[in-house]
Structures are given as C-alpha cells and as structure tokens.
Structure 1
Amino acid sequence: MKQNLDNAGVAALQDHVLALLASDLLLETNLLRTDLQLYVDSRFDLSSSQQQQLQTMSPSFSTSLGQAIANSWEQGVRVDFYKEEKDEDKVPDPKEMTVFGLDPTVANDSQSAQTYAHPLMIRIRYNYK
C-alpha cells in the first residue's frame, strides 16, 4: 500500500525499509539510486502537483538526493524528514524544499569499500502570499 507523502507516511516507509533484510534493503537502495522519481512514485500516493514537482526536479539533484538517502538507509540511519501541514484557509505559493547534508561527494563509489552517510535532513514548507 502506498503511503501519503507526509511526516507519518515517510516515517512508516523508513520503519519498513530499515527493518528489511540486507538483501531486500539492497534492492530498495538500488532502485532509489537508479531512479528517485520511480521510487517515490511507487511508494507514495502523490497528488498531481507532487508528481509535477517530482518530474521537474533536476536530474543532478534527483541523483544526489537518491544516493544520499540510499547511503543513509544502508548505514541504518533515518533521514530526518519534516513537511509542514498546508493551511487549508490559505493558497500557498509553490512549496520550498530545503535539504541539509546533501553532499555531491556522498555518491556511491564502487571503488570505495565504505560509503559515509552524512546526516540528511529534508524540510518542505509552504510559502503564503
């Protein structure tokens, strides 16, 4: 069953992923590294605006984010995720996503015996007029 892309949904997905056997975790993180958009779309029940935002994400950012999340999970570390709840009485401008701890050098290096996962925090907030 797909989760909502909110705090509870991301927490439930991370609980599931971090409880997987090593071989199953590797399948999850390989998909995440290969195609973040496909991974997110297959695991979360996305609104049309969320799908559009995912599709317009730059390929380099998508790749870096997918690799950073995968590295964190492979180290047994949760991604610190927080999404503001939308104020139903106001019309928001586009969401603002801020990612802390995203380092392009975090990319999985097949030459390296070990990959270090930086603490990763993702914040999504609404801007109102």
Structure 2
Amino acid sequence: MKYTFDNSGVSQKQASVVGLPDAELGAEVTFIRTDFKGWMRESFDLLPHQDQQLDIMPADFTFRLANAIADHFEKRTMVQFNKETRANENSDDLKELILFGLDEITFTLTSTPSVLVPELAIFIRYKQNL
C-alpha cells in the first residue's frame, strides 16, 4: 500500500513499520538503509516533482537520513515529521528540508565507537520564490 506524502500518510506508514513483526521490520530497515529512494517510491504516492527532488538529493545526505530513520525504526520509535501544506503542490516555491538530531558518534581510545541516536525530527517547509 502506498501512502500520501503528507503528515497523515507519513504517520500511517511509520506506524505500520514500527508495528511489523521482527523479521519484516528487519527487512524494511535493510531496504531503507540500502535503497532509501526506492523505499520512498514504494512507500509513498509521490507527485512527479517530489520524485524528481528525490533524484537530486545528494548521496551523503540521503545516506545519513536513511540511516537515522532506520535507526529509529529498529528501536520501534517513530520520527517526528511535519510537512507544510500548500494549496498548489506543483508550485515552484523553494522547499527546505530541515533535520534535527542526526546520529552523533563518540570514539574513546581503546574502545569501539558508540553511537548516540537522539530524537530525529524532519520538517519540510516552503519559501516563496521571488
């Protein structure tokens, strides 16, 4: 089932993922980590411009975002998500994707790195293109 890419649809998708049995959750998390853009396309009914925006996301940014989301789902926690709504979704206004709480890695000599996974928040907002 594909969900709408809005606050309600993302919330429904997240609830369905964190509620999966362990084996299915593991497969979903692996899909997110290895093919985030494919997971987005399979999970959400994206508009053509949203699909194009996925294509132009830088690889490093996509990698970090995918792993942060997957880390939360592995712990069966949902990600805070808020996407502004607009009357005309096909407008060419500038879109900002703002992330708070990406993973922090701490390394102490003679130990293995530890990863702190803070609460993740994703906000999508629009700036009028002048």
Query: What range describes the TM-score normalised by the shorter chain of this pair?
Result: 0.7 to 0.9
Report what 1:15 is aligned to: 15
**What is the CA RMSD across the aligned residues, in angstroms?**
2.1
Greater C-alpha Rg: 2
Greater share of strand residues, 1 or 2?
A: 2
Query: CA, structure 1 residues 105+34, in 2 after alignment: closer, same or farther (shift >3 Å)?
Result: farther
- Given that 1:3 and 1:43 are in contact with CA atoms closer than 8 Å, whether structure 2 keeps it comes out as yes
Give per-residue Cα distances to partners, 1:51-74, cap 9 Å, x unaligned: 011000001110110000000011
- Given that 2:103 and 2:116 are in contact with CA atoms closer than 8 Å, whether structure 1 keeps it comes out as no
Measured in 2, the distance between the counterparts of 1:84 and 1:16 equals 22
> Per the alignment, in what secondary structure is the counterpart of residue 102 of structure 1?
coil
Is 2:50 the counterpart of 1:50?
A: yes
- Given that 2:104 and 2:117 are in contact with CA atoms closer than 8 Å, whether structure 1 keeps it comes out as no
TM-score, normalised by the number of residues in structure 1: 0.86
> Per the alignment, in what secondary structure is the counterpart of residue 76 of structure 2?
coil
> Per the alignment, in what secondary structure is the counterpart of residue 94 of structure 2?
coil
| Aligned residue-pair number | 122
Report what 1:28 is aligned to: 28
Mark the runs of 5 or more structure 2 residues left unpaired by the alignment.
107-111
- Given that 2:102 and 2:117 are in contact with CA atoms closer than 8 Å, whether structure 1 keeps it comes out as no
> Per the alignment, in what secondary structure is the counterpart of residue 93 of structure 2?
coil
TM-score, normalised by the number of residues in structure 2: 0.85
- Given that 2:32 and 2:39 are in contact with CA atoms closer than 8 Å, whether structure 1 keeps it comes out as yes
One-letter amino acid matched to 1:42 = E
Measured in 2, the distance between the counterparts of 1:73 and 1:66 equals 11
User: Deviating runs (4+, > 2 A) in structure 1?
Assistant: 103-106, 114-117
The equivalences for 1:1-129 within 5 A come to: 1-88=1-88, 91-103=91-103, 105=105, 116-128=116-128, 129=130
One-letter amino acid matched to 1:22 = D
